[in-house]
Structure 1
Amino acid sequence: MSGHRDARRSLLLGLAGGGALALAACSSEPQQESTPAPSGSAPASSGAGPTTPPPSSPSPTPTPTSAIPAEPVEIGEVVEQVTGLTSPWGVALLADGRLLVSERDTALIKVVDGDQVSELAEVPGVRHGGEGGLLGLALRPGGQELFVHHTASSDNRVVAASWDGQTLGEFRDVLTGMPRATIHNGGQLLFGSADELYVSAGDGNERPTEQQEDSLGGKILRITPDGQPVEGNPFGNEVFSMGHRNVQGLALDHEGRLWASEFGDKYQDELNLIEAGNNYGWPDAEGDEGNDGFTAPQVSWPTSQASPSGLAYAAGSLWMSGLRGERLWQIPMTPDGGLGEPKAWFEGEYGRLRAVVAIDETTLLVGTSNTDGRGDVRDGDDRLLRLTLG
């Protein structure tokens, strides 16, 4: 399945407040020195977004479009909430304001309560190596079950455990068989509703699985909490979209549209608007190149400026972290549903950035990733930063 070509017109976006960030190929992150501004496309189609879930899985209630500010918000106060974490990857927000944080290389889930950090549990069966380990976290709406994406000895998998607000139960397998490798493990989780979970599965550096409808590799998946395909998935299996290399960020915007940040290879990183059944081209297309028959990205960056990981939506903007690019990208939305000019924040100030979580419409949480083996470790790394918007 080749999907349909996204016919939206590409245009060059100027770059305010810093250069674009390059997503090094997840393997070696080559030191390219290209500096073009990110490129983007015209306003996104109002009909774009995931297919409507069945009645048993209600969609989240969108915020009215009027919530988009006339001018993009600014970042105000930055508070260092906690320090001393080891390669933090996933973050789940609890109803009482506490956070659950996964550490990729230790297999530990930690609880962050204000400026205090404590150990909650070690996830069994995690095998760290390269980019693999303990990855994304997602709390099922209702708050009584925690879902975890991790690398195991032979695959990447999703597991889940009951959560009573203080302790975790025994973990059960939800989905197994996603390809694993030293690189390209994907790892992100996002609930669209209590009955549908989006999972980003990397290609595990196994071509051409990304273009095979019956393979879990190089896909965004949509499953039930029991690991079954959601009714209405485009291919009748777990696959929701295909042709991905290594998606590490997923977010729903105010209209309920699904967005994904994706590692490119040698040339361009991507921000994609995800639609059911669409093919985003990898390994036949990358960024704005080679998109005949595939869905083109909404925004692309030279790989020297991004290495995108976490993605969140708050205050009328998408917020995308950069690993190699060492900055936070703000991609504002416009009242007509399009995207404005990306803006870079904190270039080089905190090093590699990975997790991005919207605490509420005026607060973001951003995690550094300098202890992951590719960064310059600074005193206090790794840390969580709390940003005030507006």
Structure 2
Amino acid sequence: MRTTTARHASLTAVAAATLATGLLITAAGTGGAATAPHSAATSTTNSATGGAAATGRAAAAATAPGLTSAPGSIKTISSDWSIPWGLSWLPDGSALITERDTFKVFTLAQDGTKKEIGKVPNVVTTGGEGGLLSIAVSPSWKTDHYVYLMHTASEGNRIARMTFDGGKLSGYKVLVDGIKKNKYHDGGRLKFGPDGYLYATTGEAQDRKLAQDKSSLNGKILRMTTDGKPAPGNPFGTLLYSYGHRNPQGITWDAQGRLWEAEFGDAKYDELNLIEPGKNYGWPTCEGTCSVDGMTNPKRQWPVSEASPSAVAYADGAIYMAALRGQRLWRIPVDGTTAGTPKAYYTGDYGRLRTVEAVPGKNSLWLTTTNADNNGKAGPGSDKVFQVDLK
């Protein structure tokens, strides 16, 4: 099986940010200019790219209304980062950002002021995709000061909770463990949904059968309470919300509260899925669109060379998808359950794009790069956080 390494070689506080009319992109591009020109959109793709016939749900996604805005100029908010992976908004408009391999958490203000607030304990690397991954600010942060983290530990991946108060992280409580880890396919995205529950994406840890095993937490989207218990209404009465996933690293909600997910494929197709509770998204039986009974097809798919998607964000009527190997920002207009024709921006301009989030209260996005990771050509401290203004 082709590993992610090969592929990478070349609303609460969070929910409100997801639904805000803006986009945040962090990228690890090189070059020292504070403001860089953006490329024109370079390509489009549809669910049949690469020769596969669009069927099922993907066939319904042929067209959708265009956006009222489009990505415009980029300016550098902050430099000297090393694999900034997770990003979540505090009520004051500043962001919490994690670094995967240093295990550190920082605040980053809108004016670019950066401050380290602590190092998460019990984190280990896998020599690949594991480490300190996502972070999510509690919907009740003003009263409880909780932040939630997903990371790799010695025995596997886990979800933990810490307190951010007085400018520092403290305390540490494990909420969910027993998630198998591997060098690759660790998933890792945490976000609070508009329903107030915490969602997490898990990879199948390079053990394909786990994605279809409903007794395993791997290859799933999980939905839980703020104490790490199964959320009411979960389809199987457990933490599982959906299954049949390979390596999902992106989730977001549209203006109607629908959950969208971005997922790494293997050798053929990466996917954008519309997630419904209890549905089976096909891996390893299907990669991309297929006609197997019981499998839920993606709304869009891409050749792996054009995507390898990490984070996704919703803003201004579209899903924005940050691409690692593809080194571009995809913009996919959505209309109800239909995903329109994707359009690519900034292809190759800033390297590997990891995280994108809408900026609360602004018509902007923040975008991060992770060019300093194992497959990037740049060294530690080469990553950046950018702001993309929508025009």
TM-score scaled by length of structure 1: 0.83
Determine if contact 2:132/2:150 at 8 Å carries over to the other structure.
Answer: yes
SS at match of 1:304: helix
Q: How does 1:299-378 map to 2 (within 5 A)?
A: 299-334=300-335, 337-360=337-360, 362-377=363-378
Return the offset for 1:166: 2.0
Match of 1:112 in 2: 108
Match of 1:16 in 2: none
Tell me, yes or no, if structure 1 residue 96 matches structure 2 residue 97. no
Tell me, yes or no, if structure 1 residue 285 matches structure 2 residue 286. yes
SS at match of 1:209: helix
> Could you tell me how far apart the structure 2 residues matched to 1:259 and 1:290 are?
21
Q: How does 1:266-285 map to 2 (within 5 A)?
A: 266-285=267-286
> Could you tell me how far apart the structure 2 residues matched to 1:274 and 1:73 are?
25
- Percent identity at matched positions? 41
TM-score scaled by length of structure 2: 0.83
Aligned counterpart for 2:5 among listed residues 22, 27, 46:
27
SS at match of 2:250: strand
Aligned counterpart for 1:81 among listed residues 77, 80, 92:
77
> Could you tell me how far apart the structure 1 residues matched to 2:222 and 2:328 are?
28
Call closer, same or farther: CA 1:190–1:323 in 2, change over 3 Å. same
Determine if contact 1:25/1:264 at 8 Å carries over to the other structure.
Answer: no
Determine if contact 2:45/2:342 at 8 Å carries over to the other structure.
Answer: no
SS at match of 2:165: coil
> Could you tell me how far apart the structure 2 residues matched to 1:171 and 1:75 are?
39
SS at match of 1:330: strand
Return the offset for 1:38: 3.1
Note the alpha carbon deviations across 1:296-335, whole angstroms, 9 max, x for none: 000000111100001100111100000000000000123x
Which structure 1 residue ranges, 4+ long, deviate > 6 Å from structure 2?
none
Return the offset for 1:355: 0.7
Determine if contact 2:67/2:317 at 8 Å carries over to the other structure.
Answer: no
SS at match of 1:383: strand
Q: How does 1:42-53 map to 2 (within 5 A)?
A: 42=59
Note the alpha carbon deviations across 1:236-274, whole angstroms, 9 max, x for none: 111000000010000010000001000000000000000
Call closer, same or farther: CA 1:234–1:337 in 2, change over 3 Å. closer
Match of 1:150 in 2: 151
> Could you tell me how far apart the structure 1 residues matched to 2:65 and 2:390 are?
12
SS at match of 1:171: strand
Determine if contact 2:8/2:308 at 8 Å carries over to the other structure.
Answer: no
Unaligned 5+ runs, structure 2:
11-42, 49-57
Q: Which amino acid aligns with 2:73?
A: E
Unaligned 5+ runs, structure 1:
1-23, 45-67
Q: Which amino acid aligns with 2:275?
A: I
Match of 1:52 in 2: none
Match of 1:173 in 2: 174
Return the offset for 1:206: 1.5
Q: Which has the higher helix share?
A: 2
> Could you tell me how far apart the structure 1 residues matched to 2:227 and 2:171 are?
15
Specify which structure has the bigger relative contact order, considering alpha-carbon pairs within 8 angstroms and separated by 6 or more residues.
Answer: 2
SS at match of 1:321: strand
